[in-house]
Amino acid sequence: MDRAGTIPMIGKLNHVAIAVPDLDAAVQTYRDVLGAAVSKPLPLPEHGVVTVFVTLPNAKIELLHPLGADSPIAGYLARNPSGGIHHVCYEVEDIRAARDRLAAEGARVLGGGEPSTGAHGKPVLFLHPKDFHGALIELEEV
Ligand code: CO
């Protein structure tokens, strides 16, 4: 096996995403109970979600709510009806280089491996949770 692990690939934690069944309630909790800065809801029809970003000093929290009939988070919320942590997002400098290196290591890149445009207008990819100890990972090029 190539010793790719000795060369840094992922950088900062960009965000932790939490799937929520009630977006208004989640916004209220983060804004009014926790006192955090909360964005307006941003519908992303191509991803089947509405997102709200909570800005913390060192990272963001992404509140995710299903949008449309076949939202990719509908199944998650069916299994976790009160919501839960859905994915973590790490920053990478070159998303295609990261993808190629991960694929060479045998990791599964979801969605055919071509980056799509994420909630910040930047290229993103998702990695199979079974290859990463049960956590769905999003990579975002920054
Ligand atoms: Co995300």
Band of residue 36 on the pLDDT scale cut at 50, 70, 90: very high
Residue 93 annotated to the active site: no
Nearest-angstrom CA–CA distance, 66 and 7: 37
* Gap from CA of 105 to ligand 1 centroid (Å): 23
Catalytic member of 62, 138, 140, 141: 138
Nearest-angstrom CA–CA distance, 7 and 47: 31
pLDDT at 6 over 80: no
**Average pLDDT, stretch 46-74?**
95
* Gap from CA of 94 to ligand 1 centroid (Å): 17
Closest by CA position to 89, among listed 11, 16, 141, 9: 16
pTM of the model: 0.91
Model confidence over 94-134: pLDDT tens digits?
A: 999 999 999 999 999 998 889 998 888 899 999 999 999 99
pLDDT, averaged across the chain = 93
Band of residue 46 on the pLDDT scale cut at 50, 70, 90: confident
Nearest-angstrom CA–CA distance, 92 and 101: 12
pLDDT of residue 69: 82
**Average pLDDT, stretch 62-79?**
94
* Gap from CA of 25 to ligand 1 centroid (Å): 20
DSSP class of 36 = -
Give residue 43's identity as a one-letter amino acid code.
P
State what percent of residues in the chain have pLDDT above 70.
Answer: 96
* Gap from CA of 119 to ligand 1 centroid (Å): 7
Phi, psi of 108 (to 5 degrees): -90, 125
Give residue 117's identity as a one-letter amino acid code.
T
Domains of the chain: 13-141 (3.10.180.10)
